[in-house]
Structure 1
Amino acid sequence: MQTFIITDIFGVTDKLFAYRQQLERCGCRVQIIDPYQGEKQEFTSEQIAYQRFNLDCGFEAYVSQISAALADSSREKVILGFSVGAAAAYKALDKLSPGCAQEMVVRHLIGFYPGQIRHHLDINPRCPVTLVFPRNEQHFALDKVISCLTEKPRVCCIRTPFAHGFMNPLSVNYHQAAANHYFGQLSGENMRLPPQALQHILLPKQITQTL
């Protein structure tokens, strides 16, 4: 199985490299897609990272980059995206021709805090999708977005008690216990589970009780 990891505006991180090694030890082929052609960045703030993302890449270019990578792979695949990477992957999948070989072997898209997805609520995914949201978002009404998405038959939404960016050590909202749990549970086999089955193993009570 091939796993695509789609990064947020910070690009590749040591945490993602460690996760890639975790998956590779289980026999997965892993490809990390980021806005900066694999070059590790040293951003001092999220604002600077956002400016660099818009300057070097931008959302639509990121969608095209992801879509091209998916179209170039005929293997069974799962996709794991973070923030803008999750939303871009959601749109990139929609750009694949319905019924094409590449689309048919996408087993699961798992996206963490995909805020930009609010601009693409007209998309009806043709593969299983699990979206893991934060407790709230600063710039839009998250309740309305989740309500719309949960009406789609292949989409499962999970709302966590954590803040946007909790999976990334470079984010001010990083939550180490939550990140370690999610990365630990997202093994190659678990990511192939149907969204409803995956939902039951992702957020343990012991993490929420420590907040």
Structure 2
Amino acid sequence: MNLIVVSDIFGKTESINKLTAQLSPFYSEVTVIDPYEGQNISFEKEEHAYRHFQQNCGIKKLTTLLEKEAINSKGKIDIIGFSVGGSSAWEISGKDISTNIRNVVSFYSSRIREKTNVSPKCSTSLIFPATEKSFDLEPVIQAVENKQNVEVIRTNYLHGFMNSESKNFSETGYKYFSDWLAKKAP
């Protein structure tokens, strides 16, 4: 069993490294997909990271990178995605290639609001923040919560709580969900 972790707009961060180190004992192989293909980029502000992501990658490219990795992966895989990475994971969950996928976990993936027509073909957990500042979460949750293979989890944390680079990072939330992920591992 392999694990693919898809980062948010910050790319490969200390939080991603910490999480993959915690989960790697459960998997044969762990791969990180990030918008900058392994380059470590430090952003002063979240707005800078967002602008850099839009100019240098975009969600379509990130989804294509994930799809290629999922297709080329040997054996079953779990996918964990954060923010835009979670949106890419959500999109992949509904594609025919998902027969290789055992489980998808998507953290605070706000862009799924544009893809509520996706019907996951594998077990998919959607971890929603308490609120989103740019849109109302309720219609999105209502559009996906009764779909087959979908588990919706509402948290008291804000978008970015799993990433120590984010202003919304929560040590408590990170600890709880990193332990939760370890329990979901094979």
1:86 and 1:125 mapped to 2: Cα distance? 13
1:191 and 1:145 mapped to 2: Cα distance? 27
Partner residue of 2:184? 190
Q: TM-score normalised to the size of structure 2?
A: 0.95
Partner residue of 2:57? 57
Partner residue of 2:48? 48
Between the two proteins, the alignment pairs up a number of residues equal to 186
1:191, distance to aligned residue in structure 2 (A): 3.7
1:109 and 1:24 mapped to 2: Cα distance? 16
1:26 and 1:128 mapped to 2: Cα distance? 18
Runs of 4+ residues over 6 Å off in structure 1: none
Structure 2 CA distance for partners of 1:73 and 1:174, relative to 1, 3 Å: same
Alignment match of 2:103 (pick from 104, 108, 113): 108
Q: TM-score normalised to the size of structure 1?
A: 0.84
Residues 54-107 of structure 1: per-residue CA shift (max 9 Å, x gap): 11101111111111111111311100000010001211343x4x3xxx522311
Percent sequence identity is 31
In structure 2, runs of 5+ residues without a counterpart are none
Residues 105-154 of structure 1: per-residue CA shift (max 9 Å, x gap): 31110010010000001111111100000011111110110011012111
1:29, distance to aligned residue in structure 2 (A): 1.2
Alignment match of 1:128 (pick from 112, 123, 127): 123
Bigger-Rg structure (1/2): 1
Asked whether the 8 Å contact 1:64–1:92 carries over to 2, the reply is no
1:27, distance to aligned residue in structure 2 (A): 4.3
Structure 2 CA distance for partners of 1:154 and 1:25, relative to 1, 3 Å: closer
1:119 and 1:171 mapped to 2: Cα distance? 23
The higher relative CO (CA closer than 8 Å, separation ≥ 6) is in 2
Asked whether the 8 Å contact 1:108–1:191 carries over to 2, the reply is no
Partner residue of 1:35? 35
Partner residue of 2:74? 74
